[in-house]
Every structure is written in C-alpha cells, then in structure tokens.
C-alpha cells in the first residue's frame, strides 16, 4: 500500500473535527450532480472503501437518508475497485446545508482551526496524493477540475503559513507543495498524526544522511560528518597514546589531541575555538584540521 493510501485510510478512520465542512470538501471535490428524469442525485466516487463508508455514514446520520452503494471493478492490471455513493433523498437540503453550489469565497467561511483541518482532510481524501518520503522527490498535491475552487483552496492552505503553488495538468488544476517541511506540516494540519510522525522521521533521517553533499562549505558540519571525523581522530590519538604515549607529539599536536579527548562530540569549529581559548592563539579550522592529519600520519607509522 502506498504512503498516500495510508494517509487517506488514516484520515477516514479518525473523528472529523467538523463533519459538515469535511463532507462539503469531499463532495465538492470528487462529487457531481446528476439529473435523470427530473430526479436530482449527488454521486461520489472513490477507490477507498473506508472513505466510501465515511461519506455514507455522514450522509445517513446528518440527513436521515440512506445512499445507495455500488462497486465497480476495473479491468486494468491492478483491478482496482471503485466505490460509488449515490444520494437520491434530500438532495436539495444537502446542497443548501453544505453550500455545495456556492463555494465562492469559501476561504472566508473557513475560520476556525477545526474547520481548516476538516476542509483540508476532506480535499485530500477526495483528490490528494503525496509521494512516499523514501522516494527522491518530496511532493504533495490536490487535483481539482475547477480552477476557481483550486484558488480558494490555495488561500485556505496559506492560512497555515504554507506556500502552495498552482499548475494546470491536462484538464486538472493541481495545487501542490514541494518543500518537505511544508508537506509534514500539511499532514499534521489534517490531523494525520500517525503518518505525519512516520513522514517526519523518514524525512529527517533521509535529509540527515544526504546533508554532507549540501553543506560541504558550511561552518558546522552535520552530525554524521562530525561523528565520523571525531571517531577517526580519537582512534588515531588512542593508538599513539597506547603505543608510545602522547609526549612524542609536539605541543600543538598534544593540545589538539587532548582537546579531542576532552570534547569527543565537538565539531572542528568548536575544537578550533577551544584551542584558541587554551593557547591564546588565533588559528583557523584548516590549521586544526592539518594538525589532525599530522596525528593521523604519525598513527599510521605505529599501526601494525
């Protein structure tokens, strides 16, 4: 099951903050009105059984009607099922109560955090997708057929201080986020906390391991780089100390060796600051790094 499917299934199982706002977002995004023989119906389709049941239950409880449910099996390779909810009773009441025919300036009606959470959750369940954080690209999107409604959704998302973009892809208007932190915030905003935690952990771990290539010239190296370098330096220092003692080193190298032993988790920048404080000198990180390289050369001599 994809990460996007996990998010949708989580949203379909948690309690809605505002049932009517969520339902309005779902039906506006993935529903349509059908008129056959002067009989008006609302039809909603989804590939997710849990979302279908959620819509069915909300309609039944809120408007005292029982929608019909049908299942269509596709003939494609994956043979996905599509669940079709058809509402024939109290249609005018539902349209009026949820204001489905009047979504102009809907961003002005979404005022509370509960309404915002439910609206975005409804939109995502109906038309959302998000890449697995394990993949190469961070991407979350909502696809709409109505450009004006898409622009309203953008205004609502911006209330959470996110920066969505809009593009047209064939007959759809796609609202999307690309920044990993903003995608994580969006998941949290929808109250998909289980998948938010999973996403954030994977995102942080992935960024953590990839950060060496992005911060080569930064003053503070990332945690892995610091640990790798510090461990190697401590190994060299301990080897010299165990073989012949640190007194073989000149004063500068000995000071650097003792500082590394004293501060095993410190970055090169922090070791440099401690060295300058200890000696009263003012030397650069590159000079300290050359001292560690010299210690390494000495250690190699005594490695058996």
Does residue 91 contact residue 42 with C-beta atoms inside 8 Å? yes
* Residue 212 confidence (pLDDT): 54
189 phi and psi, to 5 degrees?
-60, -35
Q: In what order do the strands lie in the sheet with 81-87?
A: 31-36, 39-46, 81-87, 68-73
Which residues contact residue 133 at a Cβ distance below 8 angstroms, ignoring those fewer than 6 apart?
3, 180, 198, 199, 202, 203, 206
**Neighbour-count burial for 246-255, b at 16+ CB within 10 Å, e otherwise:** eeebeebbbb
- Residue given tokens 């009989």 in the structure block: 39
CA distance 109 to 115: 9
Q: Using alpha carbons, list the distances in angstroms from residue 303 to 163, 243, 259, 294.
A: 56, 9, 22, 15
Q: Which residues is 172 bridged to in the sheet? A: 169
- Predicted pLDDT at 117: 95
pLDDT at position 214 is 54
Residue 248 CB contacts under 8 Å (≥ 6 apart), including other chains = 240, 298
Complete domains list, the chain, with CATH: 3-208 (3.10.28.10), 223-302 (no CATH)
Integer-rounded Cα Rg, in Å, for the chain is 30
* Beta bridge mates, 81: 73
Residues of the chain with pLDDT under 50: 215-221
pLDDT at 82: 92
> What pTM was computed for the model?
0.68
Helix H or strand E encompassing 143: strand 140-144
The whole-number pLDDT of residue 44 equals 95
Spatial contact of 85 and 69, defined as CB atoms under 8 Å apart: yes
Please write the tens of the pLDDT for every residue from 159-174: 999 999 999 999 999 9
Neighbours of 211 (CB within 10 A): 16
pLDDT value of position 58: 95
- Give the pLDDT confidence score for residue 221 in this predicted structure: 45
- Token digits for 18? 């505002």
Furthest C-alpha separation in the chain: 99
């Amino acid at each position: 099951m994809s990460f996007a499917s996990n998010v949708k299934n989580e949203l379909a199982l948690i309690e809605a903050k505002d049932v009517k706002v969520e339902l309005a977002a779902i039906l506006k995004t993935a529903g349509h009105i059908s008129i056959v023989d002067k009989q008006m119906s609302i039809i909603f389709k989804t590939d997710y059984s849990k979302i279908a049941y959620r819509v069915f239950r909300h309609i039944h409880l809120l408007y005292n009607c029982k929608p019909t449910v049908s299942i269509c099996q596709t003939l494609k390779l994956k043979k996905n099922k599509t669940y079709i909810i058809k509402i024939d009773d109290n249609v005018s009441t539902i349209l009026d109560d949820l204001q489905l025919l009047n979504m102009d300036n809907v961003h002005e009606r979404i005022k509370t955090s509960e309404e915002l959470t439910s609206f975005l959750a409804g939109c995502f369940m109906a038309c959302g997708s998000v890449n697995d954080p394990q993949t190469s690209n961070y991407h979350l999107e909502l696809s709409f057929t109505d450009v004006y409604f898409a622009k309203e959704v953008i205004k609502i998302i911006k209330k959470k201080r996110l920066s969505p973009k809009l593009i047209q892809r064939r007959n759809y208007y796609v609202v999307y986020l690309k920044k990993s932190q903003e995608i994580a915030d969006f998941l949290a905003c929808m109250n998909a906390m289980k998948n938010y935690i999973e996403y954030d952990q994977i995102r942080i771990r992935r960024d953590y391991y990839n950060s060496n290539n992005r911060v080569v010239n930064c003053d503070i190296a990332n945690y892995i780089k610091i640990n790798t370098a510090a461990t190697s330096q401590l190994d060299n220092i301990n080897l010299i100390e165990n073989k012949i003692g640190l007194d073989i080193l000149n004063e500068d190298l000995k000071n650097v060796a003792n500082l590394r032993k004293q501060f095993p988790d410190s970055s090169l920048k922090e070791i440099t600051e401690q060295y300058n404080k200890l000696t009263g000198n003012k030397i650069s990180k590159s000079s300290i790094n050359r001292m560690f390289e010299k210690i390494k050369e000495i250690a190699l001599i005594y490695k058996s």
